[in-house]
Amino acid sequence: MSATPVASLSTHPAIWTPAVLPAETSAISPLLDLAILQTSIRAAYVYRFDRSGADSVLAAFVGPAPGKLGSELAPEVASLHWDRKTPIVLRAGAASDWRFGGFAELRTGRFDGVVSTPLLDSGETVGLANFCLRGDEPLSGSAVSFLMNLSLPLGTILAATALKEQLLKAHQELADRKVFERAKGIMQARFGWSEEEAYLRIRRFSRRNRTPMRKIAEWVIECGMELSGEAFDQ
What residue type is 14 in one-letter code? Answer: A
- 39 and 134 in contact (C-beta within 8 Å)? no
pLDDT computed for residue 186 by the predictor = 86
User: In angstroms, rounded to a whole number, what is the distance separating the alpha carbons of residues 18 and 3?
Assistant: 6
pLDDT computed for residue 113 by the predictor = 92
User: In angstroms, rounded to a whole number, what is the distance separating the alpha carbons of residues 202 and 67?
Assistant: 39
CB atoms within 10 A of CB 54: 10
pLDDT computed for residue 162 by the predictor = 58
One digit per residue, the tens of pLDDT, for the chain of length 234 reads 333 333 333 334 444 555 555 545 567 888 888 898 889 898 999 999 987 666 888 988 888 888 777 788 888 999 999 999 999 999 889 989 999 989 999 988 789 999 999 999 888 999 999 999 987 778 889 999 999 999 999 998 888 765 565 556 666 777 788 888 888 888 888 888 888 888 888 888 888 888 888 888 888 888 877 777 666 665
Contacts (Cβ under 8 Å, ≥6 apart) of 234: 208
User: In angstroms, rounded to a whole number, what is the distance separating the alpha carbons of residues 17 and 7?
Assistant: 10
pLDDT computed for residue 227 by the predictor = 74
pLDDT computed for residue 26 by the predictor = 60
User: In angstroms, rounded to a whole number, what is the distance separating the alpha carbons of residues 127 and 28?
Assistant: 13
Could you give the C-alpha distances from 15 to 36, 39, 98, 162, in angstroms and in order?
7, 12, 29, 28
User: In angstroms, rounded to a whole number, what is the distance separating the alpha carbons of residues 122 and 56?
Assistant: 19
pLDDT computed for residue 148 by the predictor = 94
Give the residue from 107, 110, 113 showing the smallest Cα distance to 90: 113
pLDDT computed for residue 177 by the predictor = 82
Could you give the C-alpha distances from 184 to 197, 207, 211, 223, in angstroms and in order?
9, 17, 17, 13
pLDDT computed for residue 132 by the predictor = 94
Domains recognised in the chain with CATH numbers = 7-164 (3.30.450.40), 173-233 (1.10.10.10)
